[in-house]
A and B are shown apart, each in its own frame.
Chain A
Amino acid sequence: MDRYEKAFEIQSDMKDESVEDILNYLNQYTVEFPVEEEIDSTIDVLKQYMPNKNERMAKFCLLVRMAADEITFISKTYWIACTILFIIGYWTTMREIDNPYATIIVFAPLPFVLGILEIFKGRDNGMSEIELSCKISSSEIIISRIILIGIYSVLMNTALACLLYIFDNSIDFMRISVLWLSPFTFISGISLWVVMKIKGAYVVNVLISIWCILAYFAFTNDTVIKILLKLNNAVYLGIIFIGIILIAFQIKNSANRYNNIFERGNEIEAGT
């Protein structure tokens, strides 16, 4: 029994003929049910207008998960270099009886700056085009590596600060934390900015060399070292803030999937 018949069943006082007339009249308006293929195609077309729930949050979680997965793809040389750096850092700081703070300042940015080689190795090895065509694009890979190398560098520096604090009673934990965080964030931010502009692994070597030369001149001069270590806390916090802004800005720039070498027109093919 179809729904029209059901609806009219209750009108028992109506004559059968009238019901029949109405049914015939309504049947003119019967809509053909579309075929399966048409329904699928309509759904496919409309999918693009469906809002994505918490897309940003999901993307961030994905990047963090990716950063964890990236561990196996980061070169062993980097992990070994950082471990050696950590041992040298600890050993030198403990020997620097007069001023352990100065040594940690010099060592703090090095794990991250070294890690830049790993962060941009896809771009420097000509892998960008393949990576861009993947579900996880090269920009997302870069961000996940920044997260991974950043977290690792913070852990290394925190561990070094903790060790120094445990084994040297004269060290103020808060002070040493602020002192390593300032060059770490600032130099990392500057380095990222430079590497985003200039392609090539040699840039990292140049940056490390410049930092070491500057550190050498600063810390062999008593006046400079005193000024650097006795700045107002607000100045250190200011440097940390600028560093964080610089890093955030570079991450934002990396996030643009189309901000790549092809879009800048470096490889123009035709001219008409």
Chain B
Amino acid sequence: MKLKLVLENISKKYRNKYAVKDLSVKLTPGVYGLLGPNGSGKTTLMRIMVDILKPTEGNVLFNGENIHSMGDRYRDILGYLPQNFGIYKNFSAHKFLMYIAALKGLDKHTSLKKVEELLEIVSLKAESKKKLGVFSGGMKQRIGIAQALLNDPKVLILDEPTTGLDPKERVRFRNMISEISRDRIIIFSTHIVSDIEYIAKEVLLIRNGKLIEKNDVKNILKDMEGKVWSALVDEKVLNELIQYYKVGNIMRTDKGIEARIISPQRPVRDAVTTPPRLEDLYLYYFEENQSDEFAKVRAL
């Protein structure tokens, strides 16, 4: 049977504030990138999908069954990496993974085999006997990724998994996710848009707890065509552009300042359209007070 994770009118209210509001989405096997600014409700949504947080309204259904009613059966097929997670500093990498494997209900023989396999995948085999207390941020993150994969999950939820990874580790991680995504539903959030650009089947854009767009990268970028401009400007024009438009990359060259501007209309006379990137999309949807940010930077 084809896997299906359906979120039906999910809302989560804390006191009088909505973290997620009336969000509905249907997910099938593949990688989904969850994109949104800080405070947009990504983590809350992921916690609801993991069933460690009850939605105020709505249901999450896995293959037609409410995940809360499924209980342990859902946890059997679930892998989760939280955004900020702690570790037992006195445990070695091997012992830590064995511990999580025990919590996931794996038998000792399977655990040993799987732990060895995952330590190899996340390149921590040589450090498997070292205490986690001496691990770097990137190594801890890799251990976090490994623990999420211990039970060979059908639903894999990763909250900012590439934080702390160096570029080489990020490429390895992306390839690994891409490889295993064929028969799994993988949802991951990140601020590093390039991670999503390469592997996501679809991008979910979330703002103020609401889903504002769900589409594949190609289509989303197609919608952006003609809205991204490149122009060579001087300091004075740049200041004006920053005030009135969303400005992406700024590169100072010998000829002047090359600015990337996101705007439905031509921002300056010499501006030419340029192929959009996911980074531009992020600015287009989420960057609102850019002039204030620039003002702060310039004041320094």
Binding site for B on A (CB under 8 A): 37, 40-41, 44-45, 47-48, 69, 73, 75, 121, 125-127, 129-136, 141, 257-258, 260, 262-263, 265, 267-272
Given A126-B85, A260-B52, does the pair A131, B103 have CB atoms closer than 8 Å?
Answer: yes
Identity of the chain A residue whose Cβ is nearest the Cβ of B208 in the assembled complex: A272
Tell yes or no: B65 within 8 A of A by CB. Answer: yes
Which residue of the partner chain A has the closest CB to B144? A130
**Of A37, A69, A75, A269, which is in contact with the most chain B CB atoms at under 10 Å from its CB?**
A269
Contact B41 A130 (CB under 8 A): no
Q: How many A-B residue pairs have CB under 8 A?
A: 121
Q: Which 10 A-B pairs have the closest CB atoms?
A: A126-B86, A134-B103, A265-B14, A133-B80, A129-B82, A125-B86, A135-B105, A48-B69, A271-B17, A132-B52
The complex places the Cα of A257 from the Cα of B78 at a distance, in Å, of 16
Residue of A nearest to B108 (CB): A69
| Cβ-defined contact, B52 with A270, below 8 A | no
A130 and B90 contact, CB distance less than 8 A: no
A48-B102 contact given A268-B14, A269-B40, CB 8 Å threshold: no
- B72 lies within 8 A of A135 (CB): yes
Do A44 and B65 form a contact, CB below 8 Å, given A271-B39, A272-B21?
A: yes
Q: Which residue of A lies closest to B101 (CB)?
A: A134
Cα–Cα, bound, A121→B51 (Å): 22
> Quick check: is B100 within 8 A (CB to CB) of the other chain?
yes
Q: Which of B20, B53, B102, B147 contacts A258 (CB 8 A)?
A: B53
- When C-beta atoms are compared, the residue in chain A nearest to B54 turns out to be A258
Kindly report which residue of chain B lies nearest to residue A121, judged by CB atoms: B88
Q: Determine chain A's interface SS by DSSP, over half rule.
A: loop
Specify which of A47, A125, A267, A270 is in contact with B40 (CB 8 Å cutoff): A270
The interface size bin for chain B is 35 or more
Chain B, residue nearest A37 (CB): B1
Task: Please state if A270 and B18 are interface contacts (CB–CB under 8 Å).
Answer: yes
With the chains together, A257 CA to B143 CA distance in Å? 25
Which chain B residue has the least Cβ–Cβ distance from A62? B105
A260 to B47, alpha carbons, bound, how many Å? 12
Tell me whether B104 is interfacial, beta carbon within 8 Å: yes
Measured in the bound complex, the distance between the Cα atoms of B80 and A140 in whole Å is: 18
In the complex, how many angstroms separate the beta carbon of B153 from the nearest chain A beta carbon? Answer: 10
Q: How far is the CB of A54 from chain B (nearest CB, A)?
A: 15
Do the beta carbons of B1 and A40 come within 8 Å of each other?
yes
Cβ–Cβ contact A135 & B85, under 8 A: no
Q: Are B89 and A125 in contact (CB under 8 A)?
A: yes
Give min CB distance, A150 to chain B, whole Å. Answer: 20
Any A CB within 8 A of the CB of B128: no
* Contact yes or no, A48 B14, CB < 8 A: no
With A and B bound together, what is the CA distance between A258 and B40 in angstroms? 22
